[in-house]
Structure 1
Amino acid sequence: MQLDANFNRQWSVTTQWLIDKSVENDLNEVTELAFIRYVPNEYWGVRVGRIGVSAYSAADSRDIDFAHLWVRPPQELYGGIVFNSLDGVGLSYFSNNSEFNWSIKLEYGRNEQMGEVPQTIEAYTAELEDVLSASFEVEQGHWAWQLSYAHVNSLSVIQGATIQTLQSQLGQLVALNIPMISQEAATANELMGLDGEEIDYYQMALHYFDGLWTIKTELFHIQAKKESIPQGYGGYALLGYNINSLTPYAIYSRFDPEHTYFSTQSDWSAVNPSFALLQSGAEAGINSVRIDQQTYSFGVRWDITPQIALKAQFDYVDIEDFGYGLWASDTAIISSGRDVQVYTLNLNFVF
C-alpha cells in the first residue's frame, strides 16, 4: 500500500508498505518507502528518508502491480538486486523541456534487510553501506531512455548458525594443511564469506508507449570481485498491444552468469569419510545462489475500470544446471537443470 500526502507545492510525504513472506513483518521490514520530498522550484527535488533507487526503471513501482502490464517484474533482473531502497538522501534535477525533457537523479545511503536460507529456514542479515546511485533519463514524445549506475561500497552478510558452523569446519580443515584438499577448503571458505564486498550495477533501459503499442526493455550488468556473488549480464524485452480494454503482451528475460559453478576436484572423503558431507555442503552453499535461467512470459491485462485491472500470465522458465539462485530449491537437485511453468491470476486496484 502506498500513500502520498501533499502539504503544498513544495513539501510532500510518501510512504509504501509491503507485506509478504518476509522473515519478519515488523514496521521496519514492511516499510519499502518513507521519505519527505522538498521541491523548491520546477527544476530541483530533494528526498530524505527511505527512498527508492534510480538504478533501474521500476525502482519506485516494482511492487505496484497496477502500474505495469506484467504480474511481477522480470525476476532475472529484479530478483537478483540486493537492495530495493536506501536510507539516505536523493537529489534530482529536471530540465522541464516540453520537447526534449531530461533529468539526473542521485541517491546515497545504506540498506539493511533480512533474508532466509530456504534449506535451513535460518535468517541472515545483509548490510549495505555507502551505496551511490546515479541515473540519466531522457523523454521525447512517446519515447523514454535511461542510463544508470550504482556502486555498493560494502556488502556484508551475517549468516545463521548452520552456515557459520560450516565455515568453522572449513577453517579447521584448512588448518590441517592437507595437500590440495586444504587449498580447496580455503577457497570454499573464502567464497562463502561476504564481508565488505564491492558491487557495481550498470543498466540501460528503453520505453515506448503511444496509447496502443508498449515496448520496454532493460539491459544490465552486475560486477563484483568475489565470484560467489551472483553477477553477469541480463535483461528483458516486453511487447504489448492495447485492444480496447485488453492488452495482450509477451516478455522474454534472461540472466547469463559471468562465472561457472564452483566445484572441487579432490575427494575429501579419501582422508576422512566425514569430510564428504562437508565437501558437498560447501559446494551446495556456494552454488545455491548462482543464477542461470531464462523465462518466456505471455499474458493479458484487462482494465475493468480506470481503477481495477485483472491480469493473467503464463511463465515458462528454463533453469540451467547450478542456476537455481532465484528459487527455494533442494540443494540435492541444483546440479541438474529443469523447466518450470507458472500460471498467475492477479487482481490489481488503486483507490
Structure 2
Amino acid sequence: MLRTSIVACTLAAGSAAQAADELAWKFSGFGTLGAVHASTRSADYTSTILRATGAGASERWSPDVDSRLGAQLDVSQDRWSAVLQVVSEQGMTGSYRPRVEWANVKYQVTPDVAVRLGRIALPVFLAADHRKVGYTLPWVRTPVEVYGALPLSSSDGIDATWRWSAGAMRHATQAFYGRTDTELFDSNRLRARGVAGFSHSIEQGFLSGRASILSGRLTTEVGSEVFAALRAFGPQGAAIAGRYDIRDKRVAMASAGISYDPGQWFVSAEIGRTHTRTLLGQTTSMYLGGGYRFHELTPYLGYAKVRANSAISDPGLPLAGLPPRLQATAAIVNAGLNSYLATIPVQTTASAGLRWDAVDNVALKAQYDRVRPTGGSRGTLINRQADFRSDQTVHVASVALDFVF
C-alpha cells in the first residue's frame, strides 16, 4: 500500500512538472468604433496630437479620433512569459498601419521580482497599461489635457518590478530605462534616448494610486525651418533658436493619480507636470472625474485643465534697425516661431457622459465635452486654420462602441 502511494505521488509530481513545462497561450483583443463631432471649422478636435486629422476642420463627424483595433498574444512557461500587442489607429501620416505597441519577454526572478526586456508600456498615469483599451475606461477617452502631456505610451528597453506589502497595502515599485523612435510627418521623427524613471503603485481595498517620474533626451526636426531662419540673423537669432530647438534636450515629467472605486460609484484624479526648455514648453495638467452605476448604466462627469508654466509667445527678432526687406522677413520668422509656441496647451474641458454595458464585453458610450483653449493657445486642437481664435468654446459630441474579446 505504501509503495503504491509512493508511485502515485511520483506520477502526480511528474505530471505536474510536465504541465509546468508546457507552453500556455492566450489570444485576446480590443477595439473602439467611434465618431466625434466638433462645432468648430477652424481646427480639429482629437484625442492625441499624434493624429493627422480629427473632428472640425477636416470632417464634421470623424471616425479617426477614437477608433482603433488591437490584438494581443500572451505566452508563458514556468518563470518565463512574453507578450505581443499590435494596435491599428490613425497616425500623423493618416495611415492606420498597425504598430507594435508591446513586445517584451518577462522573467519572474522570484515571486515578488520580475524583469522585462523589449517594448514596454511607460508606467506613467493610472491608465498606463490600458489607456488604449477603451472598454476599461468609464469615459470615451483618457483626458487629453493630462494624457496628452505624454502622447507616447511605450518605450524600447528594460524594466524591473518589485511587489511588496506593508500591512493591508500592496505596493509595486518599478524602475525602467529605454528609448523611443516615433514617425511623425513629412519624414520627421520624434526620438527620445535615455528615457529613465521610477513608478510606484499602491492598492488597498477600493483605493489605488500611482506616482511616477521620468526624464529623457528628446530630438525632433519639428520647427527646424524656423530655427534655421533665426540663425541666419546672427547671434541674436541663434540665441533664440537655441532656447527653443529640440535637439538632444532634456525633458522631465512627474505625475500622480488616485482612484477610489467601491463598486456602486467611483472617483479618480490625476495631476502631471512637464518640464523642458524647448518649443514644447512647460505645463501643469490635472483632471477630476467620477460616476455612479445604475445597473448597466453609468452616468459620469469630468473636469480637466492644462496651463502653461512657460511663455506661449516670444517677441522674437527685434525689427528696429533692420532694413525694410529684412524687417519683413524677420516678422515672418517671428510669426512662425509664435505659431509653434501657440501649440503649448492652455485649455479647460468640462465633460458629461453615459456608459451602457449592453452585453458582456461590450459598452456603448455617449459623451459631451465643452473645450475652451485660452490665452492665445490652440489648446490640444490640431490643424489650426487661419481664422482660428483662442478663447472660443468648442462643443464636442462623441459616441463610441468599445469591446474586448
TM-score higher than 0.5 here? yes
Which digits, 9 at most, give the CA deviation of each residue in 1:193-239, with x for residues without a partner? 21111111111111111111111111111122x15323221111111
> What SS does structure 1 have at the residue aligned with 2:234?
helix
> Which residue, out of 168, 171, 184, partners 2:231?
171
More deviation in 63-72 or 261-270? 261-270
Give the conservation status (yes or no) of the 8 Å contact 1:321–1:335. Answer: no
Residue 184 of structure 2 is matched in structure 1 by: 115
> What SS does structure 1 have at the residue aligned with 2:279?
coil
Q: Which structure carries more relative contact order (alpha carbon 8 Å, separation 6+)?
A: 2
- Distance between the aligned counterparts of 1:296 and 1:288, measured in 2? 22
Question: 1:333: how far off?
Answer: 4.8
2:65 aligned with 1:11: no
Note the aligned Cα RMSD (angstroms): 2.3
Residue 129 of structure 2 is matched in structure 1 by: 60
2:209 aligned with 1:145: yes
AA aligned opposite 2:219: S
1:330-345 to 2 correspondence within 5 Å?
A: 330=384, 332-333=386-387, 336-345=390-399
AA aligned opposite 1:31: V
Give the conservation status (yes or no) of the 8 Å contact 2:89–2:96. Answer: no
- Distance between the aligned counterparts of 1:40 and 1:72, measured in 2? 36
- Distance between the aligned counterparts of 1:302 and 1:123, measured in 2? 42
> What SS does structure 2 have at the residue aligned with 1:337?
coil
1:312-323 to 2 correspondence within 5 Å?
A: 312-323=366-377
Residue 292 of structure 1 is matched in structure 2 by: 346
Which digits, 9 at most, give the CA deviation of each residue in 1:317-342, with x for residues without a partner? 01013322522133645663221111
Residue 133 of structure 1 is matched in structure 2 by: 197
> Which residue, out of 304, 307, 317, partners 2:361?
307
AA aligned opposite 1:168: A
Give the conservation status (yes or no) of the 8 Å contact 1:43–1:96. Answer: no
Residue 156 of structure 1 is matched in structure 2 by: 219
> Which residue, out of 271, 292, 300, partners 1:249?
300
Which digits, 9 at most, give the CA deviation of each residue in 1:36-63, with x for residues without a partner? 2222432112211100111221111111
Mark the CA change 1:92 to 1:238 in structure 2 (over 3 Å): closer, same or farther.
same
AA aligned opposite 2:210: Q
- Distance between the aligned counterparts of 1:311 and 1:31, measured in 2? 27
> What SS does structure 1 have at the residue aligned with 2:232?
helix
> What SS does structure 1 have at the residue aligned with 2:226?
helix
2:286 aligned with 1:235: yes
Mark the CA change 1:98 to 1:336 in structure 2 (over 3 Å): closer, same or farther.
same
Which digits, 9 at most, give the CA deviation of each residue in 1:163-201, with x for residues without a partner? 4443322222226xxxxxxx3x33442244211111111
Give the conservation status (yes or no) of the 8 Å contact 2:90–2:96. Answer: no
AA aligned opposite 2:261: F
Give the conservation status (yes or no) of the 8 Å contact 2:199–2:211. Answer: yes
- Distance between the aligned counterparts of 2:364 and 2:145, measured in 1? 24
> What SS does structure 2 have at the residue aligned with 1:47?
strand
**Structure 2: where are the runs of 5+ without partners?**
1-69
Mark the CA change 1:208 to 1:295 in structure 2 (over 3 Å): closer, same or farther.
same
TM-score in terms of structure 2 length: 0.76
- Distance between the aligned counterparts of 1:344 and 1:9, measured in 2? 44
Mark the CA change 1:96 to 1:53 in structure 2 (over 3 Å): closer, same or farther.
same
AA aligned opposite 1:264: P
2:330 aligned with 1:275: yes
Residue 210 of structure 1 is matched in structure 2 by: 262
- Distance between the aligned counterparts of 2:155 and 2:181, measured in 1? 9
2:92 aligned with 1:37: no
> What SS does structure 1 have at the residue aligned with 2:233?
helix
2:404 aligned with 1:350: yes
Please say which structure displays the higher CA radius of gyration: 2
- Distance between the aligned counterparts of 2:362 and 2:170, measured in 1? 31
AA aligned opposite 2:124: A
AA aligned opposite 2:82: V
Give the conservation status (yes or no) of the 8 Å contact 2:285–2:304. Answer: yes
- Distance between the aligned counterparts of 1:332 and 1:267, measured in 2? 24
Mark the CA change 1:279 to 1:147 in structure 2 (over 3 Å): closer, same or farther.
closer
AA aligned opposite 1:302: W
- Distance between the aligned counterparts of 1:42 and 1:97, measured in 2? 16
Give the conservation status (yes or no) of the 8 Å contact 2:202–2:208. Answer: yes
> What SS does structure 2 have at the residue aligned with 1:19?
strand
Give the conservation status (yes or no) of the 8 Å contact 1:147–1:204. Answer: yes
How many residues are aligned here?
331
> What SS does structure 1 have at the residue aligned with 2:337?
helix
AA aligned opposite 1:204: A
- Distance between the aligned counterparts of 2:218 and 2:379, measured in 1? 18
1:82-93 to 2 correspondence within 5 Å?
A: 82-93=151-162
Which digits, 9 at most, give the CA deviation of each residue in 1:133-179, with x for residues without a partner? 21111111111122211111x111134xxx4443322222226xxxx
**Structure 1: where are the runs of 5+ without partners?**
117-121, 176-182
- Distance between the aligned counterparts of 1:26 and 1:327, measured in 2? 20
